[in-house]
Amino acid sequence: MSTPILELENVDKSFGPIHVLHNISLKVMPGEVLCLLGDNGAGKSTLIKTLAGVHKPTSGVVRFEGKPVVFDNPKQAQEIGIATVHQFGGTFPLMSIGRSFFVGVEPTKGWGPFKVIDRKKANAVAIKAIQDFGITRIDDGDRLIGGLSGGERQSLAIARAVHLGARVLILDEPTAALGVKQASHVLRIVLEAKKRGISVIFITHQVTHAMAVGDQYAVLIHGSVAANFYRGERTREEITDLMAGGEALAKLEAEVEN
């Protein structure tokens, strides 16, 4: 098990004149949870979008199981097993739960040109997936997404990614809109995925969540990897400090000293 499932080597990303990512090198082993930390605007979402096929790196290499890969679109990333829940969106307010859950990967029945969406199956799977999340209030797959709460939608998006049976699961601030119960459920899902040998890249602003599930940590500051370490190598305070860009605590210390 010495080949990383996902590896970035000197990845740069700029949007025209705006350089967002600089020289990012990271490795994720199978079954490993990488917590991606950093301040607002550090480039976390941009980084995972280059892994999800949304953006192409400006330079540098992304390897999947040792082989260089270039994704032309999100579908290609999905097809080799990288499932991503993006920070915003992911669900469609005016679509039914069952239809939204399966956008792009609709289960079908029938034959040839008469293959149609299997609505019953789509609804049943979607409802089971969300109920497994502890949200038992929802029991009708024909209900529209727009009638759900923010956390319920978030849970649905995560349940979708997990259901798609990814090799790598990327979650961009999945716990942000969630209540305590649902958030701890997400953490449990991350651990469960890990147990099944799925790698997880997990973005969060909450140290507690990062400490609970992370094997490896990478801290982005202004688009560069400022620190990359394994579980137990840093204290909770050091991590908190790094997440705030290393400035908050230094400033606090300076204030205390004066």
Ligand X SMILES: Nc1ncnc2c1ncn2[C@@H]1O[C@H](COP(=O)(O)OP(=O)(O)OP(=O)(O)O)[C@@H](O)[C@H]1O
- Summarize as ranges the residues that interact with another protein (CB under 8 A): 52, 54, 73-75, 78, 84, 86, 89-95, 99-100, 102-106, 108, 115-117, 120, 123, 137-144, 146-147
117 binds, among Mg ion, another protein, ligand X, none (CB under 5 to 8 A by kind): another protein
109 binds, among another protein, ligand X, Mg ion, none (CB under 5 to 8 A by kind): none
Q: By CB under 5 A, name the one of 5, 33, 37, 45 that touches Mg ion.
A: 45
Burial class (CB in 10 A: 0-12, 13-18, 19+), 2: exposed
CB 130, CB 159: distance < 8 Å: yes
Which residue matches tokens 């080949």?
3
Q: What is the DSSP letter of 223?
A: T
108 binds, among Mg ion, ligand X, another protein, none (CB under 5 to 8 A by kind): another protein
Q: By CB under 6 A, name the one of 5, 6, 11, 20 that touches ligand X.
A: 20
Query: How far apart are the two ends of the chain, measured CA to CA in Å?
Result: 52
Q: By CB under 6 A, name the one of 58, 87, 224, 228 that touches ligand X.
A: 87
**HSE value, Cβ hemisphere, 13 Å, CA-based, for 220:** 28
Binding mask 39-78 for ligand X (x = CB under 6 A): -xxxxxxx--------------------------------
Closest CA to 100 of 41, 141, 58, 149: 141
